[in-house]
Amino acid sequence: MFRQVVTPDIRLIIRGLFILLTIIAVGVGIVEYQMATLTHRPAQDIFAYRVVVTIANYLIPVPMKIETYFSRLAYWFTIWQQQFVEEAFSAKKAAGEYWKQSKPYIEAAMHNLRIKTRQGVQQMDEYIREYR
């Protein structure tokens, strides 16, 4: 009825448990922060900053309070935004130049198309008059 668990399955289970614990720890931190901002109270520290997990005589400390600084990430997002805006403006300028170069050809083609269309309509009118 029960089968022995294979080593890759154990690794997969342990990895899943660590991911679950990480998600829970991050979620608790986010909830604490949100509650502190909503109630306008200073952030309360957790009574224990770390949880120590013991697996097969190995002690694995898991941090419960994770501090992140997004200033470097914000710096790179700002640089990326500036590059994006500069590229967008240069692409707009290039598209305008292409339009200025191709506009006479497009207008000439449209003029010829109008003439051909009028001629076709006139021929159709003549054929219709002949058959009446």
Q: What is the pLDDT of residues 56-81, one digit of tens each?
A: 888 877 776 666 677 888 888 999 99
Task: With cut-offs at 50, 70 and 90, classify the pLDDT of residue 40.
Answer: confident
pTM summary value: 0.38
- Owner of token pair 């339009």: 99
What residues does each domain of the chain span?
Answer: 7-63, 69-132
Q: Is the pLDDT of residue 120 over 60?
A: yes
Integer Cα distance of 81 and 121 in angstroms: 53
pLDDT at residue 94, as a whole number = 94
- Phi, psi for residue 37 in degrees, rounded to 5: -75, -35
Identify whether the C-beta of residue 26 lies closer than 8 Å to the C-beta of residue 66.
yes
pLDDT at residue 74, as a whole number = 84
Reduce the DSSP state of residue 12 to 3 states and report it: helix
| Percent of residues, the chain, with pLDDT higher than 90 | 40
Identify whether the C-beta of residue 52 lies closer than 8 Å to the C-beta of residue 62.
yes
Task: With cut-offs at 50, 70 and 90, classify the pLDDT of residue 44.
Answer: low
